[in-house]
Amino acid sequence: MVTKFALIFGIIYAIIGVLGFIPGLVTPPEMTGGMTNEMAVEMGHGRLFGLFAVNFLHNLVHLGVGVWGIMASRQGLSASVFFAQVNAVLFAILALLGLIPFTNTLFGLVPLYGHDVWLHILTALAAGYFGFGPPARPVTETKRAPR
């Protein structure tokens, strides 16, 4: 079950990463009212589907997480569990950084504000369930005591 999570999560994030590089799907910052955060990395900066703040580096991170998830799913349970655990912690931290005005652009490198915050929270919860919850524990058979 955890390997399926890593695969599906990986595919979704890889697709999101690729979609972020398609200019027609990213609304420029000047066309989205309220998007006034200064970015050190302006390349590709805008809102994917008009909702999620992205830029070139953000798209690379999505693509990297996606490829990692796909590779982890192919390597088996322990790699998939590690992938889920790291992403649970990573996305929880990103959600917290997105809530703080001083860090919500990761110091101008990656936009983490707006709709990204709740998406990162949901991602952290899902990854946490698969990384630390029941699916992460291997099934052990209990032997019956001899009669």
Number of Cβ within 10 Å of residue 91's Cβ equals: 21
> pLDDT, tens digit, for every residue of 25-51?
998 876 555 555 677 777 878 889 988
User: Average model confidence (pLDDT) for the chain?
Assistant: 87
113-123 pLDDT, tens per residue?
889 999 999 99
The string of pLDDT tens digits covering residues 48-88 is 998 898 999 999 999 999 999 999 999 999 999 999 999 99
Query: Number of C-alpha atoms within 13 angstroms, CB side, residue 125?
Result: 6
Q: Is the dihedral of CA 10, 12, 14, 16 positive or negative?
A: negative
- Say what angle helices 77-99 and 2-19 make with each other, to 10 degrees: 50
pLDDT at 75: 94
Q: What is the pLDDT of residue 46?
A: 87
